[in-house]
């Protein structure tokens, strides 16, 4: 096993606690941290008061393509990229801080969070594996999540073109779009 200083070990524990508090599943912890599985299960029980759930992680990239999920995923991924590239955060910091900011945006716009932490983590993995890409909307210029080989030109995002059944959430979509635009603006300036 890897020899670490006590301080490094403590940092790993704090990272694990932060991820568990945000709702991370065991597979996320095991992939991101170097603590033993036993210790992570114990930490999970301490923080959540229950054993970690078993079962497979959500797997399909198509989940991010439905209208509302796409808006939320695009918002989160724009925040994640901003933290990683502009604020020079590590992948793990960008994930946890970005996810907290995403939750804050949802609270501020009185929208229910659609993306859980595990979905957010899986989203980043799909980007790293070149399964997904960001495509610029030709109306709002916001960048949204799309399949890797989808068309790149003259594409309109879900926030600009909500389906008619989306009446109630239309306002929330407009708020999310505004936030994504502000983020894109601050990232490019
Ligand atoms: Zn748009």
List pLDDT tens digits, range 90-105. 999 999 999 999 999 9
Please report where in the chains the tokens 């999970």 appear, as a residue. Answer: 44
The pLDDT tens digits for 38-93 are: 999 999 999 999 999 888 887 789 999 999 999 999 999 999 999 999 999 999 99
* DSSP letter (8 states) at residue 49: S
Distance 107 CA to ligand 1 centre (A): 22
Distance 87 CA to ligand 1 centre (A): 25
Distance 11 CA to ligand 1 centre (A): 40
What per-residue confidence (pLDDT) applies to 149? 84
Distance 170 CA to ligand 1 centre (A): 13
Distance 152 CA to ligand 1 centre (A): 13
User: 136 forms bridges with which residues in the sheet?
Assistant: 143
**1 pLDDT above the threshold of 70:** no
What per-residue confidence (pLDDT) applies to 171? 63
Distance 161 CA to ligand 1 centre (A): 7
Domain ranges of the chain: 6-48, 61-188
Q: Tell me the average pLDDT of the chain.
A: 88
Distance 33 CA to ligand 1 centre (A): 36
| pLDDT-based confidence at residue 14 (cuts at 50, 70, 90) | very high
Q: Are strands 132-136 and 143-147 parallel, antiparallel or unpaired?
A: antiparallel
Q: Give ∠ CA 75-117-102 in degrees, rounded to 5.
A: 30
The tally of CA atoms less than 13 A away on the side-chain side of residue 3 is 0
Mean pLDDT of 15-34: 95
């Amino acid at each position: 096993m890897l020899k670490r200083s006590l301080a490094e070990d403590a940092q790993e524990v704090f990272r694990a606690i932060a991820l568990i508090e945000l709702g991370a599943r065991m597979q996320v912890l095991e992939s991101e941290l170097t603590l033993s599985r036993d210790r992570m299960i114990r930490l999970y029980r301490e923080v959540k008061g229950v054993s970690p759930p078993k079962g497979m992680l959500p797997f399909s990239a198509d989940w991010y393509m439905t209208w509302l999920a796409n808006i939320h995923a695009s918002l989160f991924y724009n925040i994640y990229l901003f933290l990683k590239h502009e604020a020079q955060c590590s992948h793990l910091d960008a994930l946890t801080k970005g996810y907290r900011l995403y939750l804050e945006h949802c609270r501020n716009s009185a929208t229910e969070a659609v993306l859980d932490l595990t979905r957010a983590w899986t989203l980043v993995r799909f980007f790293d594996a070149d399964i997904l890409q960001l495509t610029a909307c030709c109306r709002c210029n916001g960048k949204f999540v799309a399949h890797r080989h989808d068309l790149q030109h003259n594409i309109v995002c879900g926030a600009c073109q909500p389906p008619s059944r989306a009446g109630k959430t239309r306002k929330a979509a407009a708020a999310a779009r505004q936030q994504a635009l502000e983020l894109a603006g601050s990232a490019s300036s």
